[in-house]
Amino acid sequence: MTANGIQELAALVEAAFEDRDLLRDAKYSDAVLETIDLLDRGEVRVASPTESGDWEVHAFAKQAILLYFGLRQMERMEVGPFEFFDKIPLKKNLEAQGVRVVPPGTVRYGAHMQRGTVLMPGYVNIGAFVGEGTMVDTWATVGSCAQIGKGVHLSGGVGIGGVLEPPGAGHPRRHRERAGRDAGLRAAALGRHPRHAQEEVPRRRVRRPLRPHHRAPQRVHRQEGLAQRGAPRLRRERLIEPEGRGPGRVPRRVALSTRWRSLAAR
């Protein structure tokens, strides 16, 4: 598809993402389906490298995936002895694309794997891109919209997280705006002013370590005869009588090192 055609698709998808009622029109729903098909063939990527070495994110592709989940219905899929019940179908025509998938490895429709890739019993989610000659080893997973380069070996058990959160969710301003809207909704449900809605959000409790002066003193064990056996670093207890005797004067017990015992007795 030409660049102009992709731009037209992007405009339709973005409009449908802002107003879901537009999906009732076949023009907008077909744009979503066509975008997923382009992702499956590798003609459109969620993120692509630029000539300067940076990465360009195509938000409309992520929006199309989110809309695709709403358009699909749950259905039963049978593949040999395996049975699946899901919304997203499995990727097909693997032999023609030169992709090796070892059972029970799974590639979702909408993910693209270039020729020469190998998938052991792992998982590749929708929107992902796996470069040529890459091997996804046993129980390794490639999350939604993740981008894997060429000649990569994902070792067994490795998990590449998905990035299918709503586009712009990582922007701090969007976070604040969404938090304000959520606070207003909570306030309306509670019959309060939105300014006081934040009081209903519980704060996260963090356990901080005790400061040195807050720590309980270490227990000193009484051991007889340590000083006589020449153990200067060990501690022993002594009963010190305070000067002056009278009512309320109670002897206090202190722990003195054998090194300073003679000085304290002076």
In a domain, 199, yes or no: no
The CATH number of the domain holding residue 129 is 2.160.10.10
Name the pLDDT band for 191 (thresholds 50, 70, 90).
very low
**pLDDT, position 80:** 85
Please indicate, yes or no, if residue 210 is contained in any of the structural domains: no
**Does residue 237 lie in a domain region?**
yes
Higher pLDDT, 31 or 262: 31
What's the CA gap between 11 and 22, in Å, rounded? 12
Identify whether residues 64 and 119 lie together within a single domain.
no
Q: Are both 1 and 68 inside the same structural domain?
A: yes
Q: So what's the pLDDT on residue 205?
A: 59
- Of 73, 89, 119, which residue constitutes the final position of a domain? 73
Give 47's strand partners.
57
Residue 234 has pLDDT above 50, yes or no: no
Is residue 242 in some structural domain?
yes
Contact (CB, 8 A) for 127 and 145: yes
Question: Which of the four pLDDT bands, split at 50, 70 and 90, describes residue 15?
Answer: very high
Let me know whether 11 and 55 are in one domain: yes
Supply the pTM of this predicted model: 0.62
Paired with 142 in beta bridges are: 124, 160
E strand intervals along the chain: 47-49, 55-57, 75-79, 82-86, 100-101, 106-107, 112-113, 118-119, 123-124, 129-130, 135-136, 141-142, 147-148, 153-154, 159-160, 235-240, 252-257
Are 56 and 108 within one domain? no
Domain ranges, residue 51: 1-73
Domain count of the fold of the chain = 3
Asked whether residue 176 is domain-assigned, the answer is: no
Pair 58, 106 in one domain: no
Q: Is residue 170 part of a domain?
A: no
Domain assignment present for residue 92? The answer is no
Q: Are 65 and 104 contained in the same domain?
A: no
Last residue of a domain, one of 164, 182, 209: 164
**Domain at 7, CATH number:** 1.10.166.10
> Is 81 contained in some domain?
no
Report the C-alpha gap between 137 and 135 in whole angstroms: 6
